Amino acid sequence: MRIDVVTIFPDYLRALDLSLVGKARTSGLLDLRVHDLRDWTTDRHRTVDDSPLGGGAGMVMRPDVWGQALDACAQPGAHLVVPTPSGRTFTQRTAEALSGEEQLVFACGRYEGIDARVAERHRAAGGRVSELSIGDYVLNGGEVATMVMVEAVARLLPGVIGNPESLVEESHGAAGLLEYPVYTRPPSWDGYDAPEVLLSGHHARIARWRRDEALRRTAARRPDMIKDLDAAALDKHDRAV
Ligand code: ADE
């Protein structure tokens, strides 16, 4: 998969050189390119913003500069992702859908955002556009949100996670539940004992305990997820583990 990120702070994205995403890049599973938006400015001051039409506070990112940048980075059919607190919420389902694309282009806005015609023009040219929010809070720009989304998408690409089974059991995975609590050795630590069932070697009892804990956790922390539970999918998932 190819991912292009356009930003006025390319250094922000350095963290994507590390860990699993970094490895996916060096092994060729992920072709990630980070670009400085100012490379497409034409004035001496390398200006990327201007005051909002209609007045008001802050600055808006200029469509002409963004247009040049996207023309240079986006291949035909590229899916443009614009991180913004006014977008639809990015979820694991969104990550799954985006992981099937050939090219994603992340347009990181700053200030009051990017002139709306940039998205409009990409759509009119037949490209898809997703304006996405990573949660109900406001960040200073799209860079951190882009890192969140790139990591969530990249770990779904075939070969990026060593053991793909670890994708099945995790929170927001196939079961639609939060993940159960996990323990490792030693079984007794500083007066705290791990649940005995996990030492029993009894696979069916362990699976039942994990399922109960996942349900308990989900009901307590995310009651909104319980109403979306699909009982048939849950049973099918139980039989598979
Ligand atoms: N830019 C600023 N805040 C954001 C958020 N919550 N999600 C995505 N992009 C953003």
Q: What are the pLDDT digits (tens) for 75-106? A: 999 999 999 999 999 999 999 999 999 999 99
47 φ/ψ angles, rounded to the nearest 5 degrees: -75, 135
Choose among 90, 88, 93, 89: nearest CA to 173.
Answer: 93
Query: How far, in Å, from the CA of 193 to the mean position of ligand 1?
Result: 41
162 in a structural domain: no
Question: How distant, in Å, are the alpha carbons of 28, 96, 184, 213 from that of 196?
Answer: 44, 36, 12, 14
Q: What confidence tier does 196 reach under pLDDT thresholds 50, 70, 90?
A: very high
| Residue 22 and residue 127 in one domain | yes
Output phi, psi for 53, to 5 deg. -60, 140
144 ligand 1 Cβ < 6 A: no
143 and 183, same domain (yes or no): no
- Return the number of other C-beta atoms located less than 10 Å from residue 198's C-beta: 17
Of 127, 154, 181, which residue sits at a domain end?
154
In tens, the pLDDT along 148-193 reads 999 999 999 999 998 888 777 788 888 899 999 999 999 999 999 9
Q: Which residue's C-alpha comes closest to atom 7 of ligand 1?
A: 133
- 68 ligand 1 Cβ < 6 A: no
Quickly count helices (H) and strands (E) in the chain. Answer: 8, 9
pLDDT digits (tens, 9 = 90+) for 221-240: 999 999 989 887 777 767 76
Q: Are residues 106 and 76 in the same domain?
A: yes
- Please indicate, yes or no, whether residues 135 and 199 belong to a single structural domain of this protein: no
ipTM for this model:
0.98
- Average pLDDT score over the chain: 95
Is 161 among the domain residues? no
One domain, residues 13 and 95:
yes
Residue 175's domain spans which residues? 170-240
Q: Which residue type, as a one-letter code, is found at position 223?
A: P
pTM: 0.94
Domain count, the chain: 2
Per-residue pLDDT at 241:
65
